[in-house]
Amino acid sequence: MSWKFLVLLLILVLAEFYSFLIMRSAVRKFPRAAAMATMALYVVMTVFLEGGMFFFRKIDWTQYPTILRNVYIALSFGLVVGKVLVVVLLLLNDLRRIGIWVYNKIVPKKDEIDERTGDLMPRSVFIMRAALITAGVSLGGFIYGMGNRYKYIVRRVRITSPKVPPAFKGLKIVQISDIHTGSFDNHEAVASGIQRILDLKPDVIFFTGDLVNDRTIEVDSQYKEIYSRLKAPLGVYSTLGNHDYGDYAQWPNLEAKAKNLQDIIQLHADMGWRLLMDEHVLLERGGDSIGVIGVQNIPGAGVRGMNGPFHMYGDMAKAYTGIETKNAPFKILLSHDPSHWDAEVIEKYKDVDLTLSGHTHGMQFGVELPWMKWSPIQYMYKNWAGLYTENNQHLYVNRGFGFLGYPGRLGIMPEITLIELA
């Protein structure tokens, strides 16, 4: 049993303990019957929402309305996050109280210390109520975020490099990533996102992995037709993400899993996407050319130095070999996992000018303001959203077109990236 698991377990235990205290305090002045009913409802919700998450992947959600699954997940996320916030507030309050107790033991008191000041409520009562409100806001916020899951944001980025050939100055690139078709429940909304891409009139389109959650069959005939609408003068190029290999699904045998991978490879071809499997191509325009390298999933340093559940499939050396001898002064790499950039690209492949990644989704939750960008995912990934530059090499991490797990977006919106070369 790892120390990280023990820390997580401790946080969850504290969350349940403090949340129970909050609820008991909130119903203290209720009539006895109402208080008992409210507490019973709270316990049932906790068991149903939190306990059910352990069995979530074993449930055949296709038998139930999609909205039921989405509301269930949103409520579960909101409840857990709310309880964690409660832990933070009440733990700080307990530490404050312990500090006051120690101080009073050490320093002789001239007068009795009372937390009540004038007509204000006791500080501990205020903090308890603040914690209850915070939990409610968290729950409501995650419900609200469900309405953002198809609100696509176009983010515009300009990459300037002396290595861009003259004919490619002003090249318009659209990058999308992490579609996760199996999470969708609205063909029309997805089609509107695809149309937004086409309205940008890109010269080339790059998709950086995770077309599905687990299985190729998630892309039904209607989604296949919608994705097939993506066209650009220089083509549509794609690569695979960690979810495209079927590693997180239960298969009857290895042959079934292998067939799923072959099916997704064929699907890319059927939609007119050029899937790059550890290989490179040249894009030509006006007598000039640039290189595009595509690798299968390479987790690199993984989650803050750990590969975690992300398997190594790609071979950067294989994909790169040969391009150094061709007329490709500017090189673009499609690599799903952004940790690959730190682990290998900026160390061994210094002539790769622009790497396009996804994978993190920005955790679909966070704060993005002109002066502040924060998400819990930053404690797992050094480069998690937006543009990063080191020694004239650039990495852009797309926040994802779709969603996974939590069926919504709270602060981190679904993204279509428009990159212009200069």
The predicted pLDDT at position 301 comes to: 54
> What CATH number has the domain bearing residue 190?
3.60.21.10
pLDDT of res. 308: 55
Look at residues 101, 126, 146 and tell me which one is the last residue of a structural domain. Answer: 146
Q: Are both 309 and 416 inside the same structural domain?
A: yes
C-alpha distances out from residue 418 to 141, 154, 370, Å = 29, 7, 19
**What range does the domain containing 384 cover?**
152-421
Task: Report the percentage of the chain scoring pLDDT > 70.
Answer: 88
Range in 16-25, 170-179, 248-257, 342-351 with the lowest mean pLDDT: 16-25
Report the 10 Å Cβ neighbour count for 44. Answer: 10
Question: Do 111 and 232 sit in the same domain of this protein?
Answer: no
- Could you tell me if residue 292 is left (phi over 0), alpha (psi between -120 and 50 degrees) or otherwise beta? beta
Q: Which two tokens stand for residue 317?
A: 């050396």
pLDDT, tens digit, for every residue of 120-145? 456 566 666 777 777 778 778 888 99
Q: Are 237 and 328 in a shared domain?
A: yes
- Residues 39, 98 within the same domain: yes
Q: Are 126 and 163 in a shared domain?
A: no
- Buried/exposed 87-123: b ≥16 CB within 10 Å, e otherwise: bebbeebeeeeeeeeeeeeeeeeeeeeeeeeeeeeee
Show the tokens assigned to 348.
């061994």
How confident is the model over 207-227, as a mean pLDDT?
A: 97
Give the domain-ending residue among 118, 146, 174. Answer: 146
pLDDT at position 307 over 70 = no
Give yes or no: residues 134 and 204 share one domain: no
pLDDT at res. 355: 98
- Identify which of 338, 342, 335, 379 has the alpha carbon closest to the alpha carbon of residue 360: 338
- At residue 188, the pLDDT reads 97
Residue 137 pLDDT: 80
Contact indicator for 365, 138 with CB cutoff of 8 Å: no
Of 127, 146, 165, the position where a domain reaches its end is 146
CA gap 331, 317 in Å, rounded: 14
Structure tokens at 324: 């150094």
Please state, in angstroms and rounded to a whole number, the distance separating the CA atoms of residues 120 and 137: 24
pTM, entire model: 0.82
Cα three-residue angle 354-358-363, rounded to 5 degrees: 140
For the chain, the domain total comes to 2
pLDDT band at 9 (very low <50, low <70, confident <90, very high): confident
Mean pLDDT of 269-298: 97
120 vs 392, higher pLDDT: 392
Query: What tokens appear for 220 in the block?
Result: 């039904």
Reported as a pLDDT band with limits 50, 70 and 90, residue 118 is very low
> Do 361 and 375 contact (CB within 8 A), yes or no?
no
Burial of 315 (0-12, 13-18, 19+ CB in 10 A): middle
* Same domain for 164 and 46: no
Condensed to tens digits (0 to 9), the pLDDT of residues 60-116 reads 666 677 777 777 888 787 878 887 777 777 777 778 778 888 877 787 655 444 444
Q: What integer pLDDT is reported at residue 91 of this predicted model?
A: 76
CA-to-CA distance for 132 and 403, rounded, in angstroms?
29
Q: Kindly give, in sequence order, each residue whose CB lies less than 8 Å from that of residue 258, ignoring residues fewer than 6 positions away.
A: none
The CA distance from 66 to 389, in Å, is 41
| Confidence category of residue 53, pLDDT binned at 50, 70, 90 | low
Residues 136 and 271 in one domain: no
Judge if 298 and 163 occupy the same domain: yes
pLDDT in tens, 341-365: 999 999 999 999 999 999 999 999 9
Percent of the chain residues past pLDDT 90, beyond the cut: 59
Across 92-101, 242-251, 273-282, 372-381, which has the greatest mean pLDDT?
A: 273-282
Distance CA 309, CA 247 (A): 9
Task: Tell the residue number behind the tokens 């955790």, with chain if given.
Answer: 363
The pLDDT value recorded for residue 364 is 95
Element spanning 390, H or E:
strand 386-390
Q: What is the pLDDT of residue 57?
A: 64
For residues 116 and 209, state if they share a domain.
Answer: no
Say yes or no: 134 and 167 in one domain: no
**What's the confidence (pLDDT) of residue 11?**
75
C-alpha span between 14 and 24 (Å, rounded): 15
Confidence class for position 117, pLDDT limits 50, 70, 90: very low
Clarify whether residues 299 and 321 are in a common domain: yes
Residue 151 pLDDT class (50, 70, 90 cuts): very high
